[in-house]
Structure 1
Amino acid sequence: MDGVRGPRVALVTESFDPRLSGTAGTVRQVANRLAETGYDVRVLTSGAGPAAYHAAEVLRFGPPRRSHQIHRALEAYAPDLVHVFTPGPVGAKALRQAARLGIPTLVTETSARAEFAPPQWQHKVADATDRLTVTAAWLRDRLADAGLDSGIWSPGVDTDVFHPDRRNPALRAIWTDGDLTQVAVGYVGSLRKRHGVRRLAEVASVPGTRLVVVGDGPQQAWLRERLPASVRFTGALKPRQAAAAIASLDVLVQPGTRTTCAHALREAAACAVPVVAPRAGGALDVVEHLGTGVLYDPETPLALADAVAAVVADPHRHLLGQHARARISRRTWAVAVDELVSEHYSVLPGSSASQVA
């Protein structure tokens, strides 16, 4: 850059390092790619943590005088764009202060809370930003039904971290007690009721399988109480640990019908692991039925168990994983973030954030 600064982008998120949430991971990847391509990046977030992420300064805000602090931070940084991910207390205030300072704004909504466009969300988010993007086609369609215009931006996946070579036979042997006839079927994600995790009881009943649950959350006690003792619970894992766990599975299941980013499905595909998911939510954007996995009708009782049983019984199921890897490899984070810039940063009135100096 020879001393010429690139466009300044303030990334605003409620969740960032050291947290391991899907949103935090997405923002890290966006920050990485923007910096690689010449952008000057600053992160505004809440919670304790490091004051820097690689070359980006990280500003953290607590509740006292948060609006005033955010106003001063944006005024001092003078970004070309304020990009807010799933606005909460920090994000909503950043949108309001950016408007007062005349800074263009973009919101990327990564949660399903906007499904029915509740008035408070519409007022604080949809009506407060210059442009709104969501990460799943079904959510864009729901917002359109409510009269709200939104763009769609699909996340990427780290195909180096999530790779078939991460498969660990020793780990799989632990899960199956060394029984090579057993198929390791796993769920990866937060253990929340809205994610459909109670349907994992169906999966645990499929003969010839060992269920592995990767993640934690409020439903863990319910699951531990009702699932067989053979089910393995790993708890929450860091990205590289999660990559090894996913790659060591034979099949991944995702029962949630309102997924948005569908990170676990993308990561399984990158690890060449076939998936079973509902014909609903973010799975429709990621899974090609009978091409990279199997989609089942979530309204049909025991359809999940039947779909898992069919994949488990298929001696050629590895081909689904191979096709999934080939397909998802075209959606790296570099590709995804470059598309974000070209299709969404560029259309913002008054913003120079799509023009790298």
Structure 2
Amino acid sequence: MRVVIVTESFPPDVNGVSHCALQTARQLAARGHDPLVITPAAVPGAEPDGRAPCPVIRVPSLPLPGYPQVRVALPSRRLAAALSAHRAELVHLASPFVLGARGMTAAARQGIPTIAVYQTDIGGYARTYMGVGEATAWRRIRGVHAAADRTLAPSSAALADLAAHGVPRVRLWPRGVDTDRFRPSLRDEALRRELAPGGELLVGYVGRLAPEKHVELLARVCGLDGVRVVVVGDGPSRTALRTALPGARLLGRRTGGELARIFASLDVFVHTGPLETFCQTVQEAMASGVPVVAPAVGGPLDLVVPGRTGSLVAPGDAEAVRDAVWAMAADPGLRAAYGAAGRAAVEGRTWDAVGDQLVGHYEEVLAERTAVAA
């Protein structure tokens, strides 16, 4: 199958859209399919990333105002030309908004079936960054996704949100996790002594440091006796968080095996953002055998089982986050039970498993197109 993946982000970018697009390309290549990736040009000076298992075409881009790590694709004839040259049988649109919308138009003109993968709560981002524009963002989302042969939602909350906003033909497609890379056996006592020389409980956050993530909600956790907060990631909020989180260790961006060791060495993982359509880092923490505290909204509702793998708290409630962490801090047996249950819960959620599901969606869409044509 000749598939073109049009994605708003791709490595070396570090975010959920980029990671999922890379894993999609890998799954297709591993099954003998022929993927091609089209994505915005990376941040100037970014280190090349050699992990792509297929050709990658980068179109000109500009930085998003106020958030230069995010690139917005400029109009380019390369996209339509690449679809033709690749003889695409299907176009996979990863979190389509700007480049994805152009990919949808180009595919429609060439009669190529499309699958649109909803992954970013653009409406919520508009509300967070501008205070207005949520309705406009949803009109854009609805327009793009309604033109697709099928939309794939990563969680039951996202699926319901899309349906409520009038997006048709929506199906569930969750995300996978690398259970070999993220595993409890990577817990590193030397690393723990480095991060918490006083033997403190290690409470960690991993992800972008941006306003919509609300990492500042960890401030009250920083004030707990015997607790050390560790923050992994980078973004526009990093400087402000140095002041907002007294005593926290801000480690910057970490990847690969180093990131997996950090995950496994935590005692509790906390995610604070309320706009997650899935929340991959929660799943990676669970694979690492670490109990989770997350907001009771969006993707975490499908991942965290309260009282079994962690705690769900009211979004934006710093005291609820603190109290949930403190309850786990006081009970090592509870943390161990949550961690073991979390690991067991994700054992079957590998990228191979969700890759099979994705190819099944492709085959159904192609069969539907063939039936209509006949």
**8 Å Cα contact 1:80-1:351 kept in structure 2:** no
| CA apart distance, 1:20 | 2.2
| Distance (Å, rounded) in 1 between the aligned partners of 2:41 and 2:290 | 35
* Equivalent position to 1:152, from 139, 158, 172: 172
Query: What are the ranges of 5 or more consecutive residues in structure 1 without an aligned counterpart?
Result: 1-6, 353-357
* Equivalent position to 2:158, from 103, 120, 139: 139
**8 Å Cα contact 1:247-1:271 kept in structure 2:** yes
State the partner residue of 2:16: 22
| Distance (Å, rounded) in 2 between the aligned partners of 1:87 and 1:200 | 32
- Change over 3 Å in CA distance of 1:299–1:193 after alignment to 2: closer
| Distance (Å, rounded) in 1 between the aligned partners of 2:186 and 2:202 | 15
- Change over 3 Å in CA distance of 1:224–1:347 after alignment to 2: same
**8 Å Cα contact 1:195-1:257 kept in structure 2:** yes
* Equivalent position to 2:202, from 170, 173, 184: 184
- Secondary structure at the aligned position of 1:261 is classed as coil
Can you list the C-alpha shifts for 1:23-53, whole angstroms capped at 9, x where unaligned? Answer: 1111111111111112111111121486975
| Distance (Å, rounded) in 1 between the aligned partners of 2:107 and 2:339 | 44
| CA apart distance, 1:131 | 1.4
Note the 1:118-133 alignment, pairs <5 A: 118-123=138-143, 125-133=144-152
* Equivalent position to 1:169, from 177, 180, 189: 189
State the partner residue of 2:300: 283
* Equivalent position to 1:32, from 21, 26, 44: 26
- Change over 3 Å in CA distance of 1:188–1:111 after alignment to 2: same
**8 Å Cα contact 1:265-1:283 kept in structure 2:** yes
- Secondary structure at the aligned position of 1:56 is classed as coil
| CA apart distance, 1:120 | 2.5
Q: Which has the higher contact order (CA 8 A, sep 6+)?
A: 1
| CA apart distance, 1:240 | 2.2
* Equivalent position to 2:360, from 342, 345, 356: 342
* Equivalent position to 1:231, from 248, 257, 272: 248
| CA apart distance, 1:67 | 4.0
Give the TM-score taking structure 2 as reference length: 0.86
Note the 1:93-104 alignment, pairs <5 A: 93-104=102-113
| Distance (Å, rounded) in 2 between the aligned partners of 1:79 and 1:331 | 29
Deviating more after overlay: 212-221 vs 97-106: 212-221
**8 Å Cα contact 1:273-1:321 kept in structure 2:** yes
State the partner residue of 1:82: 91
* Equivalent position to 1:307, from 321, 324, 336: 324
- Secondary structure at the aligned position of 1:42 is classed as strand
- Secondary structure at the aligned position of 2:312 is classed as strand
| Distance (Å, rounded) in 1 between the aligned partners of 2:257 and 2:50 | 22
State the partner residue of 2:65: none
State the partner residue of 2:351: 333
Identity in percent: 38
- Secondary structure at the aligned position of 1:347 is classed as helix
* Equivalent position to 1:242, from 235, 241, 259: 259
**2:238 equivalent to 1:220:** yes
Can you list the C-alpha shifts for 1:186-236, whole angstroms capped at 9, x where unaligned? Answer: 1111111211212111221222210001111122122111222x2100001
- Secondary structure at the aligned position of 1:318 is classed as helix
State the partner residue of 1:4: none
| Distance (Å, rounded) in 2 between the aligned partners of 1:59 and 1:299 | 39
- Change over 3 Å in CA distance of 1:128–1:343 after alignment to 2: closer
Can you list the C-alpha shifts for 1:37-94, whole angstroms capped at 9, x where unaligned? Answer: 1211111112148697554111111259844221111111111110010124322211
- Secondary structure at the aligned position of 2:152 is classed as strand
| Distance (Å, rounded) in 2 between the aligned partners of 1:232 and 1:51 | 27
| Distance (Å, rounded) in 1 between the aligned partners of 2:310 and 2:321 | 13
Can you list the C-alpha shifts for 1:293-329, whole angstroms capped at 9, x where unaligned? Answer: 1112336561111111001111211111111111101
- Change over 3 Å in CA distance of 1:336–1:198 after alignment to 2: same
**2:256 equivalent to 1:258:** no
State the partner residue of 1:355: none
- Secondary structure at the aligned position of 1:129 is classed as coil
| Distance (Å, rounded) in 1 between the aligned partners of 2:151 and 2:228 | 42
| Distance (Å, rounded) in 2 between the aligned partners of 1:297 and 1:113 | 21
Number of aligned residue pairs: give it. Answer: 342
Please tell me the residue identity of whatever aligns with 2:153: V
